[in-house]
Amino acid sequence: MLILAPMQGLTELMFRRAYSQCFPGALDSSVAPFVSLTHGNCGGREQLEDILPERNEGSIPVIPQILGHELEEFVRMADCMGDLGYTEVNWNIGCPMRRIAAKHRGSGILPYPDEIREVLDYVVPRIKPRLSVKMRLGHRSADEIIDIIPILNDYPLANVTIHGRTGKQQYGGSVDKERVFKAASMLKAPFIYNGDICTAGQWSTVSGRWSAISGKTLAGVMIGRGVLYDPTLPLKIKGIEGDYTEMTRQFVTTLYDAIERDFPHDIPRLRKMKEYWCLVYKSLPVSESAARAMLRLQEIKDFRKAVELAVRCVPAQGDLSS
């Protein structure tokens, strides 16, 4: 099972729709970027816009995600998601952003196992959808997970995703796979692996290692940046062959068309296109310097033309890198 990781600002519905249009069935599932319990109006329509079933029809199947630990709001939000038809909601206890973690939200709750138990004790028996968890090894230390797993094991969780970094590491440094596997082998719930899967080889190493350690297959592998760097990665993992460069080119075009349609003004449109470009150019036949030079273009039409030419291996406006 290949699952698209939630990435705030990147893997919202527009991306998921464009993706499933170009690569139907390549990703089996996705987790939506988090809905925070701190913004009041819990379960209000605009907070749930991204996961409204009618808007997600035909797109990658999606599981909503909740960030926060406010007990009553959590239950209310999970039930609003349940009322929309979702049978699983995911609890984010991995977000490392400082201002979030400082309030014991996201990875900030990991050093406090009692607080995790308090949330699970209150929430799990009260909500209609099943709860799954997405976490890191810890916030300050990669050992924190050792005290958390026995707590998770006391609840009938749908699954647990582990990203092999600490919150303090943010997204830098390397993933500690062995620690992930050690923790996961103590886990009762189905285990989903996450972190730094950017090639089919990395996927097969991780899958093989887990089978060797546990005698089981992974319940899933969740991939974030790997899909943004190379949208054809799920096809490569699944052994689906084709002209990957052409497929990526078509995907970029579909995504950029969607951005032009969905964003109201040129400045945010161009900003969004550049955000994706910074990631996806890595799998296209364009040099690092040319790709970076394109980020200096100020007009959408110039930028899109340069992208179009760059991916066809034609230098745009002479050599942009010079």
Ligand X SMILES: Cc1cc2nc3c(=O)[nH]c(=O)nc-3n(C[C@H](O)[C@H](O)[C@H](O)COP(=O)(O)O)c2cc1C
Q: Is residue 223 close enough to count as binding ligand X by CB under 6 A?
A: yes
Q: To the nearest whole angstrom, how small is the minimum distance from the Cβ of residue 101 to ligand X?
A: 13
Of 147, 152, 103, the residue nearest 123 (C-alpha): 152
With CB under 6 A as the rule, give the number of residues binding ligand X.
Answer: 23
- Interacting residue with ligand X among 30, 56, 59, 65 (CB under 6 A): 65
Structure tokens at 44: 């209000």
Instruction: Pick the closer one to ligand X by CB: 18 or 223.
Output: 223
Sheet holding 2-4, edge to edge: 35-36, 65-67, 88-93, 130-138, 160-166, 191-194, 220-223, 2-4, 29-31, 62-63
Name beta bridge partners: 35. 66
Cβ-proximal residues to 29 (8 Å cutoff; 6+ apart), any chain: 1, 2, 3, 4, 60, 61, 62, 63, 220
Residue closer to ligand X by CB (options 68, 316) is 68
256 touching ligand X, by CB under 6 A: no
Task: Tell which positions 99-158 bind ligand X, by CB under 6 A.
Answer: 134
Smallest gap from Cβ 110 to ligand X, in A, equals 13
Which residues does 101 contact at the CB level (< 8 Å), separation at least 6?
A: 95, 107, 108, 139, 167
Segment contacting ligand X by CB under 6 A, of 7-15, 50-58, 69-77, 138-146: 7-15
The residues, ordered by sequence, that sit 6+ positions from 220 with a Cβ below 8 Å of its Cβ are: 1, 2, 3, 28, 29, 159, 161, 190, 192, 193
Identify residues 19-38 at the interface with ligand X (CB under 6 A).
33-34
Nearest distance in Å: CB 298, ligand X:
24
CA-wise closest residue to 30 among 9, 8, 5, 55? 5
Q: Does 224 bind ligand X (CB under 6 A)?
A: yes
Q: Determine the residue with CB nearest ligand X.
A: 224
Q: Is 47 in the site for ligand X (CB under 6 A)?
A: no
Q: Which helix (H) or strand (E) holds 274?
A: helix 266-280
Tell me the closest approach of the beta carbon of residue 10 to ligand X, in angstroms: 6
Closest distance to ligand X from the beta carbon of 22 (Å): 20
- Min dist CB 163 to ligand X, Å, is 4
- Min CB(30)–ligand X separation in Å: 10
> CB under 6 A: which stretch of 89-97, 117-125, 143-151, 184-192 binds ligand X?
89-97
Q: Is the distance from CB of 33 to CB of 11 less than 8 angstroms?
A: yes
The residue among 88, 190, 76 whose CA lies nearest residue 126 is 76
Residue 269 as a binder of ligand X (CB under 6 A): the answer is no
DSSP label at residue 250: H
The answer to the question of residue 167 lying near ligand X (CB under 6 A) is no
Counting contacts by CB under 6 A, is residue 94 touching ligand X? yes
For binding to ligand X (CB under 6 A), which residues are involved? 5-10, 33-34, 65, 92, 94-95, 134, 163, 171, 194-197, 223-226
